[in-house]
Structure formats: C-alpha cells, structure tokens
C-alpha cells in the first residue's frame, strides 16, 4: 500500500484510514495495537491473503468500509464494535470470521459473497437472521448467500429458516395485493418451505366437515347412489382432482350446502398454494 493514511477530506483529522482501490499481494492486518479515531475505508481493496481486524480497537464510532474488497478471509473479531456501521457491499471472500456480538446496528450486505462462515463463538441461525435484518433495506442477496452457505454445509433446516425469513422480510416491500398473497402463502404452506402446514389444514378441515355432515340427512342425486360416508364426502369436496363418488351422488340443503361449497374452494386454494410453493422451491 502506498501512503495509506489519507484523510477522506482535507478538513477531516488525519486519524481516518483509507486504502481504497489498492492491490496488495499479501494479507492486510489491522490487529491488536491498531487504533483509529475516524473511519476505516478499504473500498475496492484487493488483498492477496486475509483482511484481519483481530482485537482491533474502536474507530470513534465511524464506519468500517469493506465494500468491493477481495480477499481469502475477512476476520472481524475486533475488540470493539464500530457503532456507525459496516459496509460489505459487493465484497468477496472465501471465509468470513466474525463474532455474533460484533455487528453494529447498521450493516450493508447487498452483493456480499462468501463460501464459509467461521464464527469465533457459535452463531445459531436465529442470530444470523438478526444479522441480515441489520441491513438498511431489504435485498434478496444476503438471504440467498446465507441459504447457499447452509445448503452447502448440509444444514437444510437452517436454509429453510433463512428462506422463510426472506419471504417475510420481502412482504414489507410489496403492495397490498402482494402482501395478502404472501401472508396467505405463509399460513398455508410456509412460503413453500413448510408444505406440511397444508396437510395440517386438510386434517382440520376433514375433521370439522365430517362432524358437520354426520348429523344431517343428505339428498341423493339419482336413484342408486353409493352409501353416504361423511369423511369420504368431505375428502371428495377437498380434492380438486379425482373422485370418491360421494360429491356427485349427494348434496345438502341450507347452510351445509354452503359449507360444502366453501370446502371445495378451500380445497382448490390449498392445492394451488402447495403447487405455488413447490414451484418456487423448484425454481430455487
């Protein structure tokens, strides 16, 4: 690095550290003993090894800018957290080493790419999601990157948790119709990540419908209908495709017929929601 300690502005004190758009053929270390009162700006730094801040001190509440950096490793196990924010937009590294307690209230992660996470102390998926929510605005990139990491690590459940959280966060950026659709996908199929929820809905609807139609006298279509079986009738209503021969042979009067129509609509909805969720998973 040539002349690295350069203020961003002549009016700023010389305690700001800047080494932007610089190429270094080795690791760059800001470890124990390094201290800056102002911002540390390394935007565009291309390091031949690691960029480390092992036990580095606080920089006066200013920004740590690592945007568009390239390195084999970024080590952010600092002694004190920069309270003004960390910018990792479009940075690329093989390994990110951090501590769950490191991250400040504002983080920019759009376009940040990494292959592995090696926290100094264990960071569960829930805490990683809190890390993503520190981003100033919703963007899908940070969620997709974390999902890819968990999938590569064989942790499918954590990958699902991240995907589910991504859809919930995305909902805030949608218009009202999109929010309604997103909410319905959440409660019926878990945005395609938990399609078993639709199975629970079907079990509940079958139970309620069976009770509703058991204590009533059905009206037959035709002269020789099959025996009326309440549970089979409800399943027939909920199945958009195929038939058990009940729906086409029996009907009811009054509110029970209205309930039958509602069950038909709910059956179509659950089937559509499951198909949409599975299709989204396949696209991913």
In a domain, 170, yes or no: no
* pLDDT band at 45; cut points 50, 70, 90: very high
Residues 6 or more apart whose CB falls under 8 angstroms from that of 86 comprise 63, 64, 66, 76, 103, 104, 106, 107, 108
What SS3 state is found at 71? strand
Burial of 119 (0-12, 13-18, 19+ CB in 10 A): middle
| Number of structural domains found in the chain | 2
The residue-averaged pLDDT of 132-150 equals 91
C-beta of residue 116 within 8 angstroms of C-beta of residue 95: yes
* pLDDT band at 189; cut points 50, 70, 90: confident
In a domain, 131, yes or no: no
Phi and psi, residue 250, nearest 5°: -135, 150
**CA 23, CA 47: separation in Å to the nearest integer?**
6
Residue 282 scores a pLDDT above 60: no
Longest dimension (CA), the chain: 97
End-to-end CA distance of the chain: 42
Last-in-domain residue among 123, 154, 177 = 123
Residue 243 scores a pLDDT above 70: yes
In a domain, 134, yes or no: no
Q: Judge if 116 and 27 occupy the same domain.
A: yes
Match 């038939």 to its residue by tokens. 243
Q: Judge if 24 and 116 occupy the same domain.
A: yes
Q: Where are the alpha helices (DSSP H) in the chain?
A: 125-132, 140-152, 156-171, 176-189, 196-214, 230-238, 255-283
Q: What is the pLDDT of residues 67-119, one digit of tens each?
A: 999 999 999 888 777 777 899 999 999 999 998 778 888 899 999 999 999 99
Residue 170 scores a pLDDT above 70: yes
* pLDDT band at 12; cut points 50, 70, 90: very low
Last-in-domain residue among 92, 123, 154 = 123
Residue 197 scores a pLDDT above 50: yes
In a domain, 148, yes or no: no
Model pLDDT, residue 136? 75
Domain extent for 119: 17-123
Model pLDDT, residue 209? 92
Model pLDDT, residue 1? 38
* pLDDT band at 175; cut points 50, 70, 90: very high
Residue 278 scores a pLDDT above 50: yes
**CA 119, CA 103: separation in Å to the nearest integer?**
12
Q: Judge if 101 and 196 occupy the same domain.
A: no
* pLDDT band at 37; cut points 50, 70, 90: confident
Q: If we measure between CA atoms, which residue out of 199, 178, 175, 180 comes closest to residue 189?
A: 199
Crossing angle of helices 140-152 and 125-132, rounded to 10°: 160
State both tokens at 65: 């800018």
Last-in-domain residue among 99, 123, 147 = 123
Q: Judge if 112 and 25 occupy the same domain.
A: yes
Count of beta carbons in the 10 Å neighbourhood of residue 159: 21
Phi and psi, residue 33, nearest 5°: 110, -25
In a domain, 256, yes or no: yes
In a domain, 180, yes or no: no
In a domain, 3, yes or no: no
């Amino acid at each position: 690095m040539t002349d690295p300690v350069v203020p961003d502005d002549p009016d700023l004190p010389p305690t700001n550290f800047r080494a932007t758009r610089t190429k270094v053929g080795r690791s760059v270390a800001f470890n124990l003993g390094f201290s800056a009162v102002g911002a540390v700006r390394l935007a565009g730094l291309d390091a031949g090894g690691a960029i480390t801040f092992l036990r580095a001190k606080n920089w006066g509440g200013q920004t740590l800018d690592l945007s568009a950096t390239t390195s084999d490793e970024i080590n952010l196990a600092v002694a004190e957290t920069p309270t003004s924010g960390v910018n990792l937009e479009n940075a690329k590294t093989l390994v990110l080493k951090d501590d769950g307690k490191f991250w400040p209230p504002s983080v920019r992660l759009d376009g940040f790419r990494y292959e592995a996470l090696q926290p100094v102390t264990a960071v569960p998926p829930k805490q990683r999601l809190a890390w993503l929510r520190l981003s100033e605005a919703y963007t899908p990139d940070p969620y997709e990157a974390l999902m890819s990491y968990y999938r590569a690590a064989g942790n499918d459940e954590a990958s699902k948790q991240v995907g589910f959280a991504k859809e919930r966060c995305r909902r805030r950026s949608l218009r009202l119709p999109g929010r309604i659709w997103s909410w319905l996908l959440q409660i019926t199929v878990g945005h395609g990540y938990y399609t078993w929820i639709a199975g629970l809905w079907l079990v509940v609807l079958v139970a309620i419908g069976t009770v509703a139609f058991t204590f009533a006298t059905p009206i037959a279509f035709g002269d020789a209908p099959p025996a009326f079986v309440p549970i089979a009738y409800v399943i027939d209503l909920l199945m958009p495709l195929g038939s058990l021969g009940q729906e086409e042979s029996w009907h009811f009067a009054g509110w029970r017929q209205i309930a039958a129509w509602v069950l038909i609509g709910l059956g179509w909805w659950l089937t559509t929601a499951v198909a949409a969720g599975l299709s989204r998973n396949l696209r991913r």
